[in-house]
Amino acid sequence: MHVSTDPPVRLTRFAHGGGCACKIPPGELEDVLAGLTPARPAPGDTPLLVGTATGDDAAVVTLPAGAAARAVVATADFFTPVVDDPYDWGRIAAANALSDVYAMGGRPVVAVNLLAWPRDVLPFELAREVLRGGLDIDTEAGCHVGGGHSVDDPEPKYGMAVTGLADPDRLLRNDTGRPGLPLSLTKPLGLGVLNNRHKATGERFEQAVATMVTLNRDASAAALAAGAVCATDVTGFGLLGHLHKLARASGVTAVVDTAAVPYLDGARQAVRDGYVSGGTRRNLEWVAPFTDFGSADAGTRLLLADAQTSGGLLVAGEVPGAPVVGELVPKGAHSVVLK
């Protein structure tokens, strides 16, 4: 049951951006993080398997010697409202936070809420709906919710810090791609432009909501079952941004068959009508020096750079039911080539 208000509250009006399009631009973020990678592992008996060096989806540490052969996966993700319905926003934010664990080949175990709320502006009954949405998604994922942290903030934000477990010998990493592997994409693109249209007009796109609240659990399990070792999820940096990071980390070039990439209904029309976020344009500007765009038109380029929220997995390998959108080849002049 959704809480109704009279008149309805447009949550997206309280946000300067929306969803993962609010991320700090990738180029600026890399400049900030430059030099912050530890020169040597920190002392202790929990080695860091995956850290900041490759820009992967989550941090992974092994458990102490003598423990079962498991690795701990840790991540956090939160953002401003991407839709106006508070329950849906909660579901989307939770699915998006859990996605980083699935993108590493892990299983989420426990999560804590991260909530920023303008307590003197928006009623707490809306915040309760946001939290209820997050709880319902984590329940579906079999992940405990163990409380969290909240702050009084002029702009509403919500997400989760998630801890999961994985087999350290069967991780999905972004630096393990190799030439000859196909590239599979488990969700269609276009979430960013449809969310931006929703923010501007109030139009509701059920296909976008249904895509964003779908867990990447089954896709992760299918990738592992197929023997995949390389994957990432497609979120705020768009397909091109995340593919560039994967190709760079793996020392390969990614070739994309633009005709094979799936899009949500209405996505191309939203681009034609001008509903492109600043985050998407910054993504395209960032990847341009590393990308051979071939004959791809301006609309296709924007959709391939579209800032996704709770997008699918990009897997180096074939995933049953997911379209193959390209392949990895030996490293060339560009990290990404469009065909």
Q: Which of 124, 97, 102 is nearest to 220 (CA)?
A: 102
CB 143 within 8 A of CB 162: yes
From 20, 22, 143, 230, the catalytic residue: 20
Strands 252-256, 48-50: pairing is unpaired
- For 44, 126, 243, 327, the CA distances from 182, given in Å and listed in that order, are 38, 44, 13, 4
- Residues ≥6 apart with Cβ < 8 Å to 44: none
The DSSP symbol for 47 reads -
Number of Cβ within 10 Å of residue 18's Cβ equals 25
What does the block give as tokens for 77? Answer: 């993700």
Q: Which of 297, 304, 299 is nearest to 275 (CA)?
A: 299
- Concerning whether 20 is annotated as a catalytic residue, the answer is yes
- Locate the DSSP E strands across the chain: 48-50, 59-62, 71-79, 107-117, 144-152, 157-166, 182-185, 231-233, 252-256, 291-292, 313-316, 324-330, 336-338
Angle, CA 235 vertex, CA 232 and CA 239 arms, to 5°:
70
Residues tagged active-site: 20
